[in-house]
Structures are given as structure tokens and as C-alpha cells.
Amino acid sequence: MDYLVVYDISDPKKRLKVSRMLQKFGYRILYSAFYLPNAKKRVIDFLYQEISKIVDKTTDRVFFYPVSEPEVFKGYPLEPWKIFVI
């Protein structure tokens, strides 16, 4: 399953550490959003555990959204409102 991971992390060092971790498994689509195609459950569980150790749960937020694979027609996503529902 594909996932969208979106985060709001206040500490720049922690934010960089999380982004570098996510870059190993997916693609940055926005400054604080990564698309993880074909992510296995064990990968998502691993990322959840590791990111939980890094972030401050009182000030930071990280969201994992399961998404359908985007359909592309001539370089443009079809029905973008169905791709990333947040």
C-alpha cells in the first residue's frame, strides 16, 4: 500500500533526521510531506517506531495516511481530490 507521511516538527535537527529517514523509503512531494509507494506494513511499523523515538509528542505531529496509487494521464494526476485526502 502507498502512504503519505506528513509532519510538523519544531526542532530543525529532529526534522532533518526524520526527513532523511523518510527519503530512504519514499519521495519528498512537499517540504514536510513524503510519498511512500508500495510500503510494506513492516516498513511503516519501523518508521512509526523510529520516528516516535525522535519527535517531541507534546509539540510535534506526524501523520501516516494510506493512499491509493495515483493515476497519471500525460503527466497530470487524474482526480487529485482522490489522491491525498487529509
Cell numbers found for residue 29: 512531494
Domain range for 20: 2-82
- The pLDDT assigned to 42 comes to 95
Give the per-residue pLDDT at 85: 41
Determine whether 60 is exposed, middle or buried from the number of CB atoms within 10 Å of its CB (0-12, 13-18, 19+): middle
Number of domains in the chain: 1
Please answer whether residues 8 and 37 qualify as being in contact, where contact means their C-beta atoms are separated by less than 8 angstroms. Answer: no
**How far is residue 46's CA from residue 41's CA, in Å, rounded to a whole number?**
8
In this predicted structure, the answer to whether residue 72 has a pLDDT above a threshold of 50 is yes
pLDDT in tens, 22-70: 999 998 988 999 999 889 999 999 999 999 999 999 999 999 998 876 6
Domain of 68: which CATH number?
Answer: 3.30.70.240
The residue ranking higher by pLDDT, 3 or 77, is 3
Reply yes or no on whether the pLDDT at 21 is more than 60.
yes
